[in-house]
């Protein structure tokens, strides 16, 4: 009986620790942190490549950049969760966040967020001043311009939020080379342009949730037809970008162009599909694969 009781207590402790860790990962939006790590790493890797710097000679830069950028993103997401806890309970996607359930209270989440941002910025400034400044701009644009100012007021909130989502590759590049190359700005543009069609597709899927939370997302304010026009226009804007990345080789140019044309074709197909939600899901999944495959491919083509 005593052994059984001991095992039960241990199991309870494990469950508590596991739950606390899951709550922390939910607080920092680990999915966003991980996806931005890919783009940060790609920006940094390409900076190594184009400046003929071997990454083994810059492991400290790699560590400071990846951990620093992860911390400022995690901290910004934590503050976003604190600020939005009054509306997150209205949406299926966000109602289980620890700031909503009370598993992590507001002051604690805010403190964690500020500490992570402070430590992350210090680490980025230890690489180059440029990387630190860009990181600071990213935090300000996400926390202040997006979360506190535009998200609940303007239909253009997605575009405002795209600024912060586009800075990770710039941070990665700037940490290695403070003189940002054209390639670095093309990566920024790729991320900036990618986000509206990605999030508009998500907003179509979740349109009733956004409406319930009174968040003026494009599908809520303008309807699905107008949202489709915007999605197609943003995807079309990606078409010229591979021409500015010719230094990565013909294989990447063809791959990126094919992905752009494929996404545009799928977008145009939305005008004929009767099921708008099904189409939005296809567009959303395509956008996720688009970003991951192309940014990983940029690294691979410079290694081969």
The dihedral built from the CA positions of residue 124, 128, 132 and 137, taken in this order, carries a sign that is negative
Of the three residues 178, 196, 228, the one that is the final residue of a domain is 178
Q: How far apart are CA 116 and CA 76, in angstroms?
A: 8
Q: How far apart are CA 242 and CA 260, in angstroms?
A: 9
Query: What is the pLDDT at residue 304?
Result: 86
pTM of the model: 0.93
Q: Write the CATH number for 15.
A: 1.10.357.140
Q: Write the CATH number for 213.
A: 1.20.120
| Residue 218 · residue 236 · CB < 8 Å | no
- Domain match, 131 and 213 both: no
- Domain match, 142 and 201 both: no
Tell me: the pLDDT tens digits for 23-43? 999 999 999 999 999 999 999
Q: How far apart are CA 253 and CA 24, in angstroms?
A: 40
CA-based radius of gyration for the chain: 21
Query: What is the pLDDT at residue 2?
Result: 43
- Domain match, 151 and 187 both: no
Query: What is the pLDDT at residue 3?
Result: 45
- Domain match, 276 and 152 both: no
Three-class DSSP category at 53 = coil
Query: What is the pLDDT at residue 66?
Result: 98
- Domain match, 173 and 186 both: no
Residues of the chain with pLDDT below 50 are 1-7, 10-13
Of the three residues 154, 178, 202, the one that is the final residue of a domain is 178
- Domain match, 163 and 185 both: no
Query: What is the pLDDT at residue 17?
Result: 59
Tell me: the pLDDT tens digits for 142-191? 999 999 999 999 999 999 999 999 999 999 999 999 999 999 999 999 99
Q: How far apart are CA 45 and CA 299, in angstroms?
A: 7
Q: How far apart are CA 201 and CA 291, in angstroms?
A: 15
Query: What is the pLDDT at residue 9?
Result: 52
- Domain match, 42 and 80 both: yes
Of the three residues 129, 155, 178, the one that is the final residue of a domain is 178
Write out the residue range of the structural domain in which residue 233 sits.
181-304
- Domain match, 190 and 174 both: no
Q: How far apart are CA 113 and CA 189, in angstroms?
A: 27
- Domain match, 110 and 247 both: no
| Domains: count for the chain | 2
- Domain match, 59 and 166 both: yes
């Amino acid at each position: 009986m005593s052994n059984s009781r001991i095992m039960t207590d241990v199991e309870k402790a494990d469950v508590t620790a596991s739950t606390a860790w899951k709550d922390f990962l939910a607080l920092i939006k680990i999915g966003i942190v991980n996806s931005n790590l890919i783009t940060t790493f790609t920006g940094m890797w390409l900076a190594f490549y184009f400046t003929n710097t071997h990454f083994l000679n810059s492991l400290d830069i790699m560590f400071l950049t990846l951990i620093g950028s992860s911390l400022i993103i995690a901290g910004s997401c934590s503050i976003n969760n604190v600020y939005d806890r009054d509306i997150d309970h209205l949406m299926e996607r966000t109602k289980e966040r620890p700031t909503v359930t009370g598993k992590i209270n507001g002051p604690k989440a805010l403190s964690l967020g500020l500490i992570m941002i402070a430590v992350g910025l210090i680490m980025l400034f230890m690489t180059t001043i440029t990387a630190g400044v860009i990181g600071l701009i990213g935090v300000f644009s996400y926390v202040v311009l997006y979360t506190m100012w535009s998200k609940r007021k303007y239909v253009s909130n997605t575009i405002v939020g795209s600024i912060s989502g586009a800075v990770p590759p710039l941070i990665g590049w700037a940490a290695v080379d403070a003189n940002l190359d054209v390639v670095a700005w093309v990566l920024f543009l790729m991320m900036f342009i990618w986000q509206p069609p990605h999030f508009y597709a998500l907003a179509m899927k979740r349109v009733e949730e956004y409406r319930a939370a009174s968040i003026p997302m494009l599908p809520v304010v303008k309807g699905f037809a107008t949202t489709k026009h915007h999605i197609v226009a943003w995807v079309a804007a990606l078409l010229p970008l591979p021409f500015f990345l010719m230094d990565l080789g013909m294989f990447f140019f063809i791959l990126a162009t094919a992905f752009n044309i494929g996404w545009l074709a799928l977008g145009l197909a939305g005008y004929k599909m009767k099921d708008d939600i099904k189409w939005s899901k296809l567009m959303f999944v395509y956008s996720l694969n688009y970003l991951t495959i192309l940014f990983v491919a940029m690294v691979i083509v410079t290694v081969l």
